[in-house]
Structure 1
Amino acid sequence: MLIGIGGPSRSGKSTLANLLVTHFRRNGKKAIIFHQDDFVFPETQIPKIKDKTDWESPLSIDHDLLLEVVSDFKERFDVVIIEGFFAFHDDRLNAIYDKRIFVKISKRTFIIRKAMDSRWGYIPTWYIDHIWKSYLKMGKPSTIKTDYLEASGEDEFDMKKILGYLER
């Protein structure tokens, strides 16, 4: 099974992917996660916005390499999970997903979580706004023409609902 998990920055995509991989492994399945962040181009090759690297551009991700790696691993694992801001952006990935989960949070929750995120140092307010606008433009599931499950990333995930979706 190939599962795509998408949603805005700080919505809980990685957390959900980790919960799922743990669940599948506990149930005897070979499961692995691929984080789109691990497939970014070198910073010098990524577009800029106001002299800042635009990590929120789909041009920041090496979609060809991700697709190549996933194609190889899906033959060797029972469950392969791809999670990322642009999980639903590449039509080639959308064509091979078995299941899609969109993790939704409010703009307020996003702003609060992003303000607490100190991994990258200070993030200007205009860039936080840019991240949200990029998500609205390129990260929402309206770009996919197939079914998906919407999961709330506001609090704890409803794992019963999510696992029910994955089992059907």
Structure 2
Amino acid sequence: MSELVIIAVGGPSSSGKSTCANALHCLFAKSILVHLDDFYFPDSEIPVDNKLKVQNWDCPEAIDFDKFYRYLENLKLGGPLEYDAPSLEIDPDLKLTTDEISSLKQKCASIMPHKTLVFIDGFMLFHDQKLISLYDKKLFFHASFETLKQRRESRQGYNTAEGFWVDPPHYFEQIVWPEYVKTHSYLFENGDVNSSLNENAAKLGIQGVRNDEGTTLQDLVEMALEKLRD
């Protein structure tokens, strides 16, 4: 097997990371795509917010990080690419034209051509430096509060290990956003997640990809490719 390169494609819910990770996986023939969501604990084990009395799917404790870490560690040691978890993610349609795909594939051809790329898609990839140390490349997708909220609230719901989850009213501002701030503010200037990434992110090799309204999937993929080329 060729050398593996583990690429973290992280960021908050609705930042475009999953769509871009899926596109990158489709564009790079020698690649696999791993979803952090496939490492959620069963529905019955998801923590309940003490104040709001609703399940909190957006905190680190909702994910079986011991299992996720073991999977990544085994990958680094030459273990199998497959993992023991049925995927909860339904790949979205690749929103690129034939011409865009052709153009992007040409750009991909010169990026790590003799390596197998492992794209890791997840909302909680950069909260723990023990995990961060296992990634070879780190892309952090982010956007403003307003943009993320609008995108999240336009979704119908999410597949889970035991069923289907639909956000209750105000879930984004009461659960999703506060958890994102709590776990990722250390990577931003003055702790403001609406701002730019700071020196902490730079020292950890985390590169930002800003995805505000008006950014196309082609724009996102091209930004990601530039970061991977560095």
Q: Same fold (TM over 0.5)?
A: yes
Structure 2 CA distance for aligned equivalents of residues 150 and 80 of structure 1: 19
Structure 1's unaligned 5+ residue stretches are: none
Structure 1 CA distance for aligned equivalents of residues 185 and 71 of structure 2: 24
Q: What letter corresponds to residue 43 of structure 1 in structure 2?
A: D
Structure 2 CA distance for aligned equivalents of residues 84 and 140 of structure 1: 17
Pairwise CA RMSD = 2.0
Question: Which has the greater radius of gyration?
Answer: 2
TM-fit CA distance, 1:66: 1.1
Report the secondary structure of 2:204's partner residue: coil
Among 172, 176, 188, the residue aligned to 1:128: 172
Map 1:9-158 to 2 at 5 A.
9-25=13-29, 29=30, 31-49=31-49, 50-74=52-76, 75=78, 78-119=116-157, 120-125=165-170, 127-129=171-173, 130-140=175-185, 142=187, 145-154=203-212, 155-156=215-216, 157-158=219-220
Q: What letter corresponds to residue 102 of structure 1 in structure 2?
A: F
Structure 2 CA distance for aligned equivalents of residues 159 and 37 of structure 1: 21
Aligned length: 163
The 1:87–1:141 alpha-carbon spacing in structure 2 relative to 1, beyond 3 Å, is farther
Deviates more, 1:66-75 or 1:128-137: 66-75
Contact 1:32-1:81 within 8 A present in 2 as well: yes
Give deviations 1:71-125, integer Å, cap 9, x for gaps.
3345366111212111112322201111111111111111111221111335211
Query: TM-score, normalization: structure 1?
Result: 0.86
Contact 1:63-1:90 within 8 A present in 2 as well: no
Q: What letter corresponds to residue 132 of structure 1 in structure 2?
A: W
Identity of aligned residues (%): 33
Q: Does 1:2 align with 2:6?
A: yes
Report the secondary structure of 1:32's partner residue: strand
Structure 2's unaligned 5+ residue stretches are: 82-115, 158-164, 188-199
